[in-house]
Amino acid sequence: MIIHNEQNQTFTLLTRHTMYQMKVDRYQVLLHAYYGPPADVDSDLSDFIQCADYSFSPNPNEAGSDRTYSLDVMPQEYSTCGVGDFRLPSIELELPNGSRSADLRYLRYELQKGKYSLPGLPAFYGGEKDAETLIIYLEDAAAQVTVALYYGVFEEFDLITRAVRVLNHGSETVRLCRCASLCLDFLRSDMDFVTFNGHHLMERCLDRAPLRSGIQSVGSIRGASSHQHNPFVILCDQDADEDRGLCYGAMLLYSGNFEAAAECSQFENSRFVMGIHPYHFCWTLEPDEAFTAPEAALICSPGGFTQMSQQFHRAIRKCLLCDPYGPGQQKPVLINNWEATYFDFTADKLIDIAKEAAALGIGLSVMDDGWFGRRDDDNSGLGDWWVNETKLPGGLKDLTERIHALGMTFGIWMEPEMVNEDSDLYRAHPDWALHIPGRAPARGRGQLVLDFSRKDIRDYIYSQLKSVLSSAPVSYIKWDMNRSLTDVWSAALPAQRQGEVYHRYVLGVYDLLERLRKDYPHILIEGCCGGGGRFDGGMLYYTPQIWCSDDSDAIDRLRIQYGTSFAYPTCTMGAHVSAVPNEQNGRVTPL
């Protein structure tokens, strides 16, 4: 439920167990007043904000001689920069005169039934019975920039989503150097910061520490959300546990560079900001152009981690996943040939494996890397998405017929974002790989990254994938990504717009996945990035199942999947049983 109180200029968002309130103050600054267990709906909770004359905290011009009002201490709904607030900014504008500032004041609001959508970006979805939308418009009059703050309220799940759209309505070019999706100010700092960190083969391990003076942050500048840090964090009472204590879970539905930062100020309050990482990000806004930041999702739980996790799980299952297997449908157990054969396989080998699997009741046979181009090792073939009929005589059609005859369905591995230098594609179009002119590019797993910020490249790759998928009945795709982004420069953009490449790349990945989902709605796509390097809410919107980790050791998986479960439901986790001794760590664990 969304309530606007005209008299005291408050906006109150109500869910089953929580309440969120904002206040337009006397200077038209949008303050964050409250977020927590339900309180009096008619009250103005901004009364808890204490104003005083603080040294070196400047006062806005319109405050006149009132030294007790400063943006440096006020809890703001979307923090500004360059005009008196020295804490973490949510937005940074570079104006035509070279100055960098943003001073946002309340303009107007809109209420809508149902949940807003974000074209080209993943987002929770909901009809008029499931959700409501509040849009609050702020304006920087001097910069002639409008910022629209979007709020989606899912009462049943205690879920509040946030998104931001920045519009240049002036006559000159403005550059957007930072644009967070979420800002949350607290009148306290005695909280723990819970993050989910790790590395390849050990992702999303819980890490908990008290907030301390200054800034703490996690993030990624690898071009993907990363194995190292996850775009889901928790702020909570220091004594919170599974069943008690106040906790706030924040998830960014984004699969690229991100930052989640918390700052404790000198005044014993704290601010949390989450969004696209400002590293190498700068978006040019010509007159009448807009930029939309990815969605963030918030759940406040007065009843500890369990309540928060269960609400995230319910919301993700019902309002985020687009799963070809509907509620109550069992996904098939699958057999993957990778550790059995690596690149050295033939159709007959695959059928031998499938026969053994079918006898055990396994329903899906997945052919992994090595079926395309001239791909016999890591260093060749990526980008050439045509079936190697030396390995697979008769192509996919013949193989799938033999698989189906065993009572199984068929799946296939792909890595569309990558290219090898030893490939027909690279020889024809070396400029299609991300590279910096005059600098030899770095390789990862012997491969380069295609510039998915370019539509012409995406169109070419998709035409190849479509040709393969239309040649035989495929019911599953494993979409992999086996290296981080380096040498990030696009031949399709001028020098002053190179700060857009990282984000345009992610939008390109989403575009290709959306096309696949539209043209092949029956195919289950499982996301993978060297295992769990891109396990985030953004990818879940397109790939309702994600390979949890390349570490398939049963003992290690307890820790990996425990951390993952704080935000992501079990049905989203791809979990394999592998032969022992385990390939990753050599451990022998009885089945």
Condensed to tens digits (0 to 9), the pLDDT of residues 553-579 reads 999 999 999 999 999 999 999 998 888
Quick check: is 351 in a domain? yes
On the 0-12 / 13-18 / 19+ scale of CB atoms within 10 A, 65 is exposed
pTM greater than the 0.85 cutoff: yes
The DSSP output letter for 51 is P
- Residue corresponding to tokens 């890595």: 415
How many angstroms separate the CA atoms of 283 and 272, rounded?
23
Which of 522, 538, 554 lies at the terminal end of a domain, its last residue? 522
* pLDDT score of 93: 98
pLDDT for 120-149, tens place per residue? Answer: 999 999 999 999 999 999 999 999 999 999
Are residues 118 and 214 part of one domain? yes
Tokens of residue 94, six digits: 């570079």
pLDDT in tens, 262-281: 999 999 999 999 999 999 99
Asked whether residue 50 carries a pLDDT value surpassing 90, the answer given is no
Same domain, 241 and 268: yes
Residue 148 amino acid letter: A
Q: 40-54, 105-119, 484-498 — which is least confidently predicted?
A: 40-54
Give the residue carrying structure tokens 């204590």. Answer: 245
What would the mean pLDDT of 285-294 be, rounded to a whole number? 98
Is 232 among the domain residues? yes
Can you tell me the distance from the alpha carbon of 124 to that of 2, in angstroms, rounded to the nearest whole number?
Answer: 18
Query: CB burial class (10 A; 0-12, 13-18, 19+) of residue 26?
Result: exposed
pLDDT of 326 reads: 87
Least confidently predicted of 49-58, 217-226, 403-412:
49-58
pLDDT tens for 518-544 read: 999 999 999 999 999 999 999 999 999
What is the pLDDT, as a whole number, of residue 577? 86
Residue 411 domain-assigned?
Answer: yes
Tokens coding 496: 């002053």
Q: What is the pLDDT of residue 296?
A: 99
Q: Mean per-residue pLDDT for 101-109?
A: 98
The answer to whether residues 8 and 77 belong to one domain is: yes
Cis peptide before 122 (omega within 30 of 0): no
Alpha-carbon distance 93 to 97, whole Å?
A: 11
Residues 237 and 343 in one domain: no
Which amino acid type is present at position 446? G
Of 164, 151, 235, nearest to 195 (Cα)? 235
Are 376 and 282 contained in the same domain? no
- Is the pLDDT at 327 greater than 90, yes or no? no
**Residue 482 within any structural domain of the chain:** yes
Distance of CA 431 to the CA centre of its chain: 28
Last residue of one domain, picked from the residues 522, 554, 583? 522
Q: Is residue 305 predicted with pLDDT exceeding 90?
A: yes
Count: domains in the chain: 2
**Same domain, residue pair 437 and 310:** no
Within a domain: residue 566?
no
Task: Tell me: do 291 and 339 sit in the same domain.
Answer: no
Average confidence (pLDDT) over 378-389: 97
pLDDT tier at 591, thresholds 50, 70, 90: confident
Answer whether residue 164 is part of any domain: yes
User: Where does a domain end: 266, 289, 319?
Assistant: 319
Helix, strand, coil: what percent of the chain each, to 5?
20, 30, 45
Active-site residue, 480 included: yes
User: Band of the pLDDT at 413, cuts 50, 70, 90?
Assistant: very high
Residue 296 and residue 203 share a domain = yes
Whether residue 568 is contained in a domain is answered as no
Q: Among this protein's residues, is 348 annotated catalytic?
A: no
Q: Kindly state the percentage of the chain with pLDDT values over 70.
A: 100
Contact 145, 153 (CB under 8 A): no
Cβ proximity of 522 and 529 under 8 Å: no
Distance CA(453)–CA(50), nearest Å, equals: 47
CA-nearest of 33, 18, 1 to 307 is 18
Average pLDDT for 506-520: 98
For residue 53, pLDDT beyond 90: yes
Residue 581's CB is within 10 A of a number of other CB atoms, namely 12
- The answer to whether residue 359 scores a pLDDT higher than 90 is yes
pLDDT band for position 328 (cuts 50, 70, 90): confident
Which domain CATH number covers 381? 3.20.20.70
What's the pLDDT tens digit per position in 246-267?
999 999 999 999 999 999 999 9
Lookup: tokens for 303? 């009843």
What is the average pLDDT score of the chain?
Answer: 97
Residues 346 and 306 in one domain: no
Token look-up 């980008």 returns 383
The verdict on residue 538 lying in a domain is no
Q: Which domain holds residue 387?
A: 334-522
Q: Is the bond leading into 96 cis (omega within 30 degrees of zero)?
A: no
Mean pLDDT of all residues in 201-219: 98
550, 551, 553, 556: the active-site residue? 550
Do 257 and 199 have their domain in common? yes
Looking at the predicted structure, is the pLDDT value of residue 242 above 90?
yes
Say which CATH number the domain at 110 has.
Answer: 2.70.98.60
- Looking at the fold, whether 266 and 352 belong to one and the same domain comes out as no
Q: Which of 140, 480, 551, 553 is catalytic?
A: 480
Looking at the fold, whether 346 and 432 belong to one and the same domain comes out as: yes
